[in-house]
Amino acid sequence: MAEATTLPDPAHARAGIFFDPASAPVHPGTTAHPGLRHLLGLEGLSAHAIHDLLDAARAWRARWTRSRAPVTTLAGVEVCNAFFEDSTRTRLSFELAQRRLGATPLGFGVAGSSCSKGESLLDTLRTIAAMGVDVFVIRHASSGAAALAARELGVPVVNAGDGAHEHPTQGLLDLLTLADAWGGSFAGRRVAILGDIAHSRVARSAIHGLAALGARVTVAGPATLVPRDAGALGCDVAPTVEDALRGADAAIALRLQTERMDRGLLPSIGDYVRAWRLDAARARLLAPHAVVLHPGPMNRDVEIASDVADGERSVVLRQVANGVAVRAAVLAWCADRVAA
């Protein structure tokens, strides 16, 4: 963690967000959160800060429906997308947002880099930083990798997913998609998060973000895939997928994160599908207006049935579209930190 000397808002002091009191934003409209320097997680981020980011994302989205002409928000800001783990939508939407904001993104992937020769994460990042990178967007298989980079590199860091910890821009795009579906109001709403909660950084970011905005979360999944601290995170734990879905205002289906799973956590995929898949009959238990989300990549007919994924409640592609606007909002925020 960065050693911040003064914290402007105690709610921000918890894990996830670092403060740099010396960073004073230079552009108008960003003075509300003067010490916020990195986006490492949604844990500890205030409702005020989240709403500001969602408002900024809406503004970018509205602008791009009128014109795709690039702006100069990130002109002269060198952004490196350091992806030590595979990605399609997160990486491409960061890149698209960077291009639309006037940056020339620097791409980095493990394949073809010196990591394959045994270079450490920090040595690799310090090497890239020495070339004059101003902002890092980092994805890594280890929880805490983005926080380590934020502490060591001296430039703003955006976490694009660290192990099973957090994926804050996914959390923000989920919140924006839910706000679209709910007319902007979170109070009194309930979201069912289904499946592999324990290994999901998407779930953790959604849980923190929804709690900050006043919505309730019910999680449901096999006992081996629901974290023991789910209650401590402020969630209700439902014994069955049906219990979680009944009357909920939205459902988020999660992929089985087999790359992070120990063997033996599930009896078989067939058993999982029978007990936990979000299928059409189960989706009918949701409130009539409810929407269905999935962060992708989807394993069709495993955690979500195809007819639900493509059905009228599904906002999966809306999530993807919102990802570009959310990432633009976060990057524009970082640009202020660079300029300060």
**Contact residues: ligand MLT, CB under 6 A:** 161, 167, 170, 201-202, 255, 257, 295
The tokens for 37 are 């320097």
Residue 81 beta carbon to ligand MLT: minimum distance, rounded to whole angstroms:
14
In degrees, to the nearest 5, what angle opens at C-alpha 288 toward C-alphas 284 and 294?
65
Task: Find the shortest distance in angstroms from Cβ 90 to ligand MLT.
Answer: 6
Phi-psi region of 28 (alpha: psi -120 to 50; beta: other; left: phi over 0): beta
State the nearest-atom distance from the C-beta of 136 to ligand MLT, in Å: 17
Q: Answer for the pair 37, 337: CB distance below 8 angstroms, yes or no.
A: yes
Helix (H, G, I), strand (E, B) or coil at 79: strand
Select 102 or 296, whichever has its Cβ closest to ligand MLT.
296
294/337 with CB nearer ligand MLT? 294
CB of 235 to ligand MLT, least distance (A): 18
What amino acid occupies position 223? A
In whole angstroms, how close is the CB of 257 to ligand MLT at the nearest point? 6
Which of 16, 161 has the CB closer to ligand MLT? 161
Question: Least Å distance between CB 9 and ligand MLT?
Answer: 28
* Residue whose Cβ sits closest to ligand MLT: 255
Smaller CB distance to ligand MLT: residue 129 or 291?
Answer: 291
Q: Which is nearer to ligand MLT, 87 or 124 (CB)?
A: 87
Q: What is the rounded CA–CA span in Å between residue 176 and residue 225? A: 27
In this structure, is the dihedral angle defined by the CA atoms of residues 95, 98, 102 and 107, taken in order, positive or negative? negative
Q: Is the peptide bond before 297 cis (omega within 30 degrees of 0)?
A: yes
Comparing CB distances to ligand MLT, the nearer of 100 and 167 is: 167
Residue 198, class by beta-carbon neighbours within 10 Å (0-12 exposed, 13-18 middle, 19+ buried)?
Answer: buried
